[in-house]
Amino acid sequence: MSRPLHLILLAGGKGERAAGGDGVPKQFRSTARGALFAVSLRTFVNGARSPSWHLASVTVTAPTDWHEVVQKELNTLTLPCHLADPGRSRTASTWKATVVLAGAGQVQSGDLVAVHDAARPFATAGLLDALTMAAMNSGGAIPGIAVPDTVVQVSGGAATYLEREALLAVQTPQVFRWENFELAHRWAHEQGKEFTDDGGLLAARGHLPAVVPGELGNWKVTSNADWARALQLLG
């Protein structure tokens, strides 16, 4: 039986480091293939195909001023779609999307949820498939790539060298079993906890995610230099 997967796309950030001179956040800036958030969304909506799971809904977090733009894109899709306001942090934004998704009454026990950053437009549908299959077996999965640089931890002005072979840089999308995901975010909301990603939050609650090989091309648009590079690749 095909397992439902619900996609949460986070597009609520200010994107100031790669914003245009007109103040448009990076996720809403235009490329040759449409707004950046739309590129990230269409990759999964149009490319995700598997006999084991299917995309069941899409929820996008976006600032109120951009709801109309996002809704226009969502209107082109043929599956249930929802809009959520962003929170003051990444964790808070994901919680707001979680509340909207739960309130829609479309998520059942045993379903999966994927969270993706709108500023990562080059993730592939194949990566989402690998993560979903891993999450079906382990309850959660994150993509990670090797760290090429030497990394140190600094405390009191002294550096402790970390074993590079044991380190990975984590990406999105990340996929989790709905029950664990919803309970973990409810706890974070009630306790006022914040995390840099959902895998870290789930791990803090005892649900260690499996690690799937990430993609070198799945980089995040952060700076103006990143934006220029993305424009060229999407041209």
CATH code at 202? 3.90.550.10
- For the chain, what is the radius of gyration of the CA atoms? 17
Cα dihedral across residues 125, 130, 136, 142: positive or negative: negative
Instruction: At 144, give phi and psi (nearest 5°).
Output: -140, 145
Please report the pLDDT score of residue 48 as a whole number: 72
Decide if pLDDT at 15 tops 60.
no
- Tell me the two tokens of residue 94: 């994901």
Decide if pLDDT at 16 tops 60.
no
Find the mean pLDDT for residues 62-77: 96
Instruction: Read off the pLDDT of residues 108-149 as tens digits, 9 standing for 90 and up.
Output: 999 999 999 999 999 999 999 999 999 999 999 999 999 999
On whether the CB atoms of residues 51 and 89 are closer than 8 A, the answer is: no
User: Which of 32, 24, 30, 99 has its CA nearest to residue 59?
Assistant: 99
β-strands 3-10, 53-61: how paired?
parallel
Please report the pLDDT score of residue 1 as a whole number: 81
- Tell me the two tokens of residue 96: 């707001």
Q: For residue 196, what are the domain limits?
A: 3-233
Q: Checking phi first, is residue 209 left (phi over 0); if not, alpha (psi -120 to 50) or beta?
A: beta
Start-to-end C-alpha separation, the chain: 39
On whether the CB atoms of residues 198 and 222 are closer than 8 A, the answer is: no
Find the mean pLDDT for residues 77-101: 97
Q: How far is 26 from 164, CA to CA, in rounded Å?
A: 32
Cα dihedral across residues 163, 151, 198, 188: positive or negative: positive
Question: Using 50, 70 and 90 to split pLDDT, how confident is the model at 84?
Answer: very high
Instruction: Read off the pLDDT of residues 21-31 as tens digits, 9 standing for 90 and up.
Output: 567 999 999 99
Using N-to-C axis directions, what is the helix angle for 36-47 and 67-74, rounded to 10°?
20
Q: What is the count of structural domains for the chain? A: 1
Residue 26: strand, helix, or coil = helix
User: Which of 66, 96, 80 has its CA nearest to residue 6?
Assistant: 80
Please report the pLDDT score of residue 144 as a whole number: 98
Q: Checking phi first, is residue 174 left (phi over 0); if not, alpha (psi -120 to 50) or beta?
A: beta
Question: Residues, the chain, total?
Answer: 235
